Amino acid sequence: MTRTPAKFKDFLERAGVRDIGVPTLLAAVVLFVSAMAMLGANVSALRESYGRVQRSNSVLLDMAEINTLVMGIDMTVRGYALTDNPDFLVYEADNRNRLCIRIDHLASLVLDDPEQSARIAKLRALVARHEEVFSQLSSLGPGHAKEVAAVIVDPAKRKIRYAAQDTLTAMHDNEMKRLSAHQQAAERQVSHTFNLALGIVAFAFIAGAVGFALTLLGRRTA
């Protein structure tokens, strides 16, 4: 086995590095554990980002269904006026219940966004006005097709539904912007943390190798 040269031993003694092998090993272990913790945080960040995407999908699905239900209110009343079929009133009542439930669910999803919450309040008011108009029409009973047709083509009445749909469009655009910004920030954070963790792991391995070598060398020269 090759023996350590005497001059190198003297150098180690004078430099005082022979005795730092174990501390260097310990430092390497600490660095490695820290890097693993950072990678674990990255996993948590990815899970959070995935959860955010899932939440946004739920928000967008709620918006699409609300839009369909808002249009369904006047469609069911129109069907009742044209056919005098009371089944349309059952559909209308079901539409109203589903619309209320869906708006409440959407409101719970956007609680963390004051701007979206304000739009929810506006949407509720517009939908209530829209429902009121067609509720009055359905209460007329059969044989009032002309009255219903007059309301349906009335620009002032149609404007209420358009305003509700415009509010949903604004909420949709806002949600997409928030989701895009969140994903970009998450990607930057994950990339930065991953690169930093890799650098720490590499440094930890180098420090571990140096510490191990110094420890062995210290034992040989002792």
For residue 4, give the DSSP letter.
P
Q: Contact at 8 Å (CB) between 215 and 19? A: no
Whole-model pTM? 0.62
The phi and psi torsions of 144 (rounded to 5 degrees) equal -125, 40
Per-residue tens of pLDDT for the chain, all 222 residues: 445 455 545 544 544 444 555 566 566 666 767 766 766 666 666 667 667 778 888 889 999 999 999 888 878 877 777 777 878 888 888 888 999 999 999 999 998 889 999 999 999 999 998 888 877 777 776 777 777 777 777 788 788 888 999 999 999 998 888 887 777 766 676 666 666 667 776 666 666 666 656 666 655 555
78: which residues sit within 8 A by CB, 6+ positions away?
148, 152
What is the largest distance, in Å, between two alpha-carbon atoms of the chain?
114
